[in-house]
Amino acid sequence: MMSPKRVPTAFGAVLLVLFACLFPGSLLSQDKMTPDQKTWLEDVSPIITKMEREVFLKLRTNAERDKFIVFFWRMRDPTPDTTENEFKKEYMGRVRFADQTFGHESPKRGSQTERGYFYLLLGPPLERHFYTTNSEIYPLELWFYKGAQEYGLPDYFYLIFYQPEGLGDYRLFSPGIEGPEKLVIPQMSVDTSQRSTAYQIIKEKVNSELASATISYLPGDRPGGLGSFSSDNILASIKQLPEKKYSDAYARSYLSYKDFIETEYADHFLSSAFQAKVLKAGGQPFLHWAIEPEKMNFGTQASSIYASFELVLRLENSRGLPIFERTEEIPLKLTAEQYKAHERQRFAFQDLLAVIPGEYRALFLLKNKTAKDFTSFEFKISIPGAGQSRLSSPLLFHSREAVPEAQRANLMAFTLGGFQYLIGARNEFLPAETLGVCFQAWNVAGLKLPGPPSFVLEIFSVETGKSLGSYPLPEAIAAGDDPSTVTVMGNFSLSGVKPGYYRAEVSALAPSGQKVLSDKENFIVLAQPYPFLPWVYARMHGPFPGAEHLRVLGTQYFLAQDYGRARGALEGALRAKDDPASRLLLAKSLFGLGRFQESLDQALPLYERAPDREAGKVIALDYAALKDWTSALNYLEKLMAEATEVSVLNLAAEGYLNLGRPEKALPLLQKSLSLVPDQPPIKDLEEKTRRRLGQK
């Protein structure tokens, strides 16, 4: 294999030219938060969830932050179909009131004081009593609220804010920790440090209701001892309100889907159930997946019912770099009869994807472009390499159907050994059902057991941890196209199993009975029947190895910078079917391997047939690497005439410098720096070029 050749000074930009379209975010600098964004984060600090705050602080650009703020308010809008966000209007009114009312004794804005925090979070109290001029106690306020039991609050409760020793900010008072003695002004004739004495002073000389609140924030509570645990529980529940009251499900995947979702979708995030399994076909691991939105919204047109979906699938490696990304349109058109027949069923999208070995984070985003709603899901997956001994995660199914003989070579989600397995992403079953279990055992021979393994299924109650029994799985069939993969299947009757949460654990046993491999999957036994099997939309793919799957693998290897394997996969894809996209990616892979002339041989015919910008870049790179700067500039000039790209400007400048034409290079370097000032090597090159031309 030829190793990459050393290239001229600024030619480190060569790979940036090649990869700029593939890693568009890798060169983005981080914007500083604007004053308005900092103020917003302060304003919403009482109602923002921990997850939302973490995500917001990770955003790199102000555009991303502004979009997040729109999502934040829309997710709290009680009537998203109207133009006005009533929650935002009312909340910002609280901010203005707090700033005007609570900041007089503090250097902070009123909304950032302790009184401001609770006012923003809880809203105005039912009653607000002032004790600011009483000679017995320090200045304080008694607030009385109506609570909400669904969030862990009592029907009614108090809060007290006081000015310690009559100076500075008002602070929240804690009955359990501080007690009434903290509120009473010391007197020469009485020991006010005693709790009972301080309580009596407040009760007899100030107000009996206030005295009760200094002992407990729960009306009618009469705690003994030092203080009230009820008060501590009330304060803890108040501070947990954002986590209980506001859904932050949208924020969990925002960093991944922010570039794909427009703000008009913000108030229509749908939860969904998702299931993913790694299963092999022809020795190649495939990711099988199913996504079931909680509901489906359709439009109507004449007698048809329709919806247009967009599916985004993205895989990232352990460094956060994408190794695959695909966006596809899914148009659905139903007759009224079809819709009526399935309206009580959930809808499921199912598909599969060939994936190279490694550890990845997968993101799925499903947009309903008709109803302007979306759902997303992300998870970590481990794709086994060749020779790894493992069991796949068990697939729990309701039934299976034989695939017609003519279609058995093709691939479809959750299809194995000539059977299509019917699954639900929620793994919900009925007590009268039979639970089907299917999984694959990979490279068991690599364990070097003294004899063939056996396979068992054991069912556990998640609630109690007790086993319901262990059952042998005798149906184990080696794949004809991959003897190292064994498909194991069995059934378990749920008759007599009580509704609840359970775990199915599958194991491979050595001849001695020792457990050598295992994996598990949870499931639910329902108390009441309902239509839980989804109506499935799934595509059929050609067999493996085929051009479609090899092109996908070639793309992943290329983005993982494994150019040798990328080359092998793409050459296989081209042998099966000539395709310009595969040929262009092969040219890029050959460039990555340092095989510049071979790369040129692939890219030139593509450009001659249809002048493609990406092919032009590869050709320019190849000529530059071969030090044929005149030919490289021929293509670079065409690229610069079409559009402005910093990396193309830099490479063209390098070409003119190599040809001894600094007067042509300098304007390109200056333009590059005007677009992206933070380029130290290009700045140095620009200064050297100016000196070369006798300029200061």
Domain at 688, CATH number: 1.25.40.10
Residue range 389-420, pLDDT digits in tens:
999 999 999 999 999 999 999 999 999 988 99
pLDDT at site 341 = 83
Residue 94 domain flag: no
Domain count, the chain: 3
Cβ neighbours around 170 below 10 Å, total: 22
Torsion sign, CA atoms 342, 343, 349, 350: negative
Within 13 A of 316's CA, how many CA atoms are on the CB side? 14
pLDDT at site 619 = 96
Cα–Cα distances in Å, from 427 out to 197, 398, 437, 503, 534? 62, 9, 11, 11, 11
Residue 615 domain flag: yes
Residue 567 domain flag: no
Residues 223 and 299 in one domain: no
Least confident residue range of 34-43, 245-254, 514-523? 245-254
Element (H, E) at 400: strand 399-402
Residue 441 and residue 489: Cα distance in Å, rounded? Answer: 11
Residue 308 and residue 371: Cα distance in Å, rounded? Answer: 9
Q: Which residue has the higher pLDDT, 665 or 342?
A: 665
Q: What percent of the chain has pLDDT over 90?
A: 63
Give me the CATH number covering residue 518. 2.60.40.10
Closest CA to 113 of 101, 126, 130, 131: 101
The amino acid that residue 306 corresponds to is Y
pLDDT at site 95 = 96
The amino acid that residue 645 corresponds to is E
Residue range 669-691, pLDDT digits in tens:
999 999 888 889 999 999 999 99
Residue 233 domain flag: yes
pLDDT at site 3 = 37
pLDDT at site 20 = 45
Domain end residue (candidates: 242, 259, 294): 242
Residue 53 domain flag: no
Within 13 A of 119's CA, how many CA atoms are on the CB side? 29
Residue 357 and residue 364: Cα distance in Å, rounded? Answer: 19
Residue 255 domain flag: no
Fill in the DSSP letter of residue 75: T
Residues 152 and 203 in one domain: yes
Closest CA to 352 of 374, 320, 383: 383
Residues 526 and 616 in one domain: no
Q: Which residue has the higher pLDDT, 612 or 411?
A: 411
Cα diameter, the chain? 103
pLDDT at site 39 = 95
Evaluate if residue 10 carries a pLDDT over 60. no
Residue 2 domain flag: no
Q: Please state the pTM of the whole predicted model.
A: 0.72
Residues 338 and 486 in one domain: yes
Token couple for 651 = 């490479």
- Residue 452 belongs to domain spanning: 270-538
Residues 235 and 156 in one domain: yes
Residue range 94-127, pLDDT digits in tens:
999 999 999 888 889 999 999 999 999 999 999 9
Domain end residue (candidates: 242, 259, 290): 242
Cα–Cα distances in Å, from 696 out to 460, 540, 658, 666, 691? 79, 66, 22, 13, 6
Residues 279 and 193 in one domain: no
Least confident residue range of 338-352, 509-523, 624-638? 338-352
Token couple for 646 = 């910093």
Residue 568 and residue 153: Cα distance in Å, rounded? Answer: 64
Cβ-based neighbours of 569, under 8 Å, separated by 6 or more: 550, 551, 553, 554, 557
Domain end residue (candidates: 486, 508, 538): 538
Residue range 415-443, pLDDT digits in tens:
998 899 999 999 999 988 899 999 999 99
Residue range 248-271, pLDDT digits in tens:
777 776 776 666 666 555 556 777
Residues 448 and 583 in one domain: no
Of the pLDDT bands very low, low, confident and very high (cuts 50, 70, 90), residue 70 is confident
Q: For residues 53-79, give the mean pLDDT.
A: 87
Q: Are 445 and 483 in contact (CB under 8 A)?
A: no
Residue 526 domain flag: yes
Evaluate if residue 21 carries a pLDDT over 60. no
